[in-house]
Amino acid sequence: MTLRLAVFASGTGSNFVAIAQAIDAGKVDAELALLFCDNPNAPVITRAAEMGIPSLAIAPADCANRVDYETRIREALDESQIQLVALAGYMRIVGAPLLESYEGRIINIHPSLLPAFPGRHAIEDAWVAGVSETGVSIHYVDEGIDTGPLIAQQRIPILPGETCEELENRIHRVEHRLYPDAIQTVIGGFNES
């Protein structure tokens, strides 16, 4: 049976689109069954609609508390029979209701060579620090911030004289290839076990 995948995103959704396109191209053996977004006005929702992918938006401000918010998400995932969750620019910490229900089944993409530069501004932090290389990491999600076990990483040199924006564009291009590949690796592992 084809694995049922959900992508969680908060904003632009270029990784969401890359994953959807990789599935369409037969590079990832999954059905993108749900886009979840925490911001009803995010551009990624329009992208999902254009691609015919079901989406759900719940704003945390419309929920009683964080447990209520995540419980509603969990119910939606159960209803859509989701087997794997890929966070792609989802700007929230995942809490206990989701982590407990989807243990080992939530993964994330982060634009640095973890454990270096965790957090929200990873690309800018690496660029400002003047390090010679950064990268992209795909990892399982645990209760920490960008701390779970690694699935895949790619190193990216920071070129002399490169602007932060140029670096960001190169990082995104790597992300759009590495994330679908890593999702397929995870799915392959599920199929073997």
Per CB under 6 A, which region of 50-58, 69-77, 105-113, 147-155 contacts ligand GRF?
105-113
Among 110, 126, 138, 141, binds ligand GRF (CB under 6 A): 110
**30-37/133-140 β-pairing:** unpaired
Which residue in 110, 121, 172, 176 is the catalytic one? 110
Are 8 and 85 in contact, with CB atoms under 8 Å apart? yes
Query: In 70-121, where do the E strands start and end?
Result: 84-87, 106-110
Comparison of 7 and 73: residue with beta carbon closer to ligand GRF: 7
Among 89, 97, 135, 180, binds ligand GRF (CB under 6 A): 89
Q: Is 118 in the site for ligand GRF (CB under 6 A)?
A: no
For residue 115, whether the previous peptide bond is cis, meaning omega lies within 30 degrees of 0, is yes
Least separation in angstroms between residue 9's CB and ligand GRF is 6
Say how far apart CA 109 and CA 16 lie, in whole Å.
Answer: 11
Q: Is 121 a catalytic residue?
A: no
| Torsion, CA 161, CA 166, CA 167, CA 171, rounded to 10 | -160
Name the residues that contact ligand GRF, by CB under 6 A.
9, 11-16, 88-89, 109-111, 175
